[in-house]
Amino acid sequence: MEGFVIAVDRGRYTCVLDDTEVEAVTVTAMRARELGRKSVVVGDRVALVGDTSGAPGALARIVRIAERSSVLRRTADDDETTAEGRLERVVVANADQLVIVSALADPPPRTGFIDRCLVAAYDADIEPLLCLTKADLAGPEAVLDYYAELELPYVLIRPDSELDALRALLAGRISVLVGHSGVAKSTLVNRLVPEAA
């Protein structure tokens, strides 16, 4: 069975099967030994064998990872074995949009963080989208002026905003939301997909 990895937690991978008729079937899987050291990350398209029923307690095995169309990487400072002391880890595969969520106030926008996200997006050939939250507390002019030369697509979000503009920008895309704590990522997800809790 073919599937799409939606979560990774302590060696267990949650996958949604591709060819289900009406309702998405979620399967828990583990990596097969034959994959070797190749990592499985959120966004990977995988081949599953074993119990793919999705029943409680069922466990499938991931036996193949499809070629990735994009990889979003993060540098970690925790590898003392390399000469530079840094290790790059793939965080997400096959995304085509990086949604950089930044509050306009409380916490204030951090252009250095946004810059790093933009570099990562451009490096991975993933389109960036700037999502500016808490637009009821401050105006977007300073942030938008800072990035004016990039012609960066953006959306403004207020607590009472309809999310139609954001939904339109997310529709039909595999998007990754990234941002500091307190910028309203969870609030956005809960408003977009209430059943996600």
- Tens digit of each residue's pLDDT (9 = 90 or more) over 128-169: 999 999 999 999 999 999 999 999 999 999 999 999 999 999
How high is the mean pLDDT of the chain?
Answer: 91
Instruction: Please check the confidence at residue 79 and state whether its pLDDT lies above 70.
Output: no
- Tens digit of each residue's pLDDT (9 = 90 or more) over 114-133: 999 999 999 999 999 999 99
> Across 51-125, where does the E strand assignment appear?
60-65, 71-76, 87-93, 97-103
Distance, in Å, from the CA atom of 125 to the CA atom of 114, rounded to the nearest integer, reads 16
Q: Do 111 and 146 touch, CB atoms closer than 8 A?
A: yes
Count CB atoms within 10 A of the CB of residue 30.
14
Question: Is the sign of the CA dihedral 159, 160, 161, 164 positive or negative?
Answer: positive
Query: What Cα–Cα distance (Å) separates residue 164 from each residue in 14, 35, 133, 145, 160?
Result: 29, 41, 15, 24, 12
Instruction: Please check the confidence at residue 77 and state whether its pLDDT lies above 90.
Output: no
Give residue 80's pLDDT: 59
Instruction: Please check the confidence at residue 83 and state whether its pLDDT lies above 60.
Output: no
Across the strands, what pairs with 13? 8, 29
- Tens digit of each residue's pLDDT (9 = 90 or more) over 84-106: 555 678 899 999 999 999 999 99
Alpha helices in 24-183, H assignment, sequence order: 111-124, 141-146, 164-170
Give residue 166's pLDDT: 97
Distance, in Å, from the CA atom of 26 to the CA atom of 53, rounded to the nearest integer, reads 8
Q: What is the mean pLDDT of residues 41-67?
A: 96
Name the DSSP letter for residue 21: S
Name the DSSP letter for residue 181: T
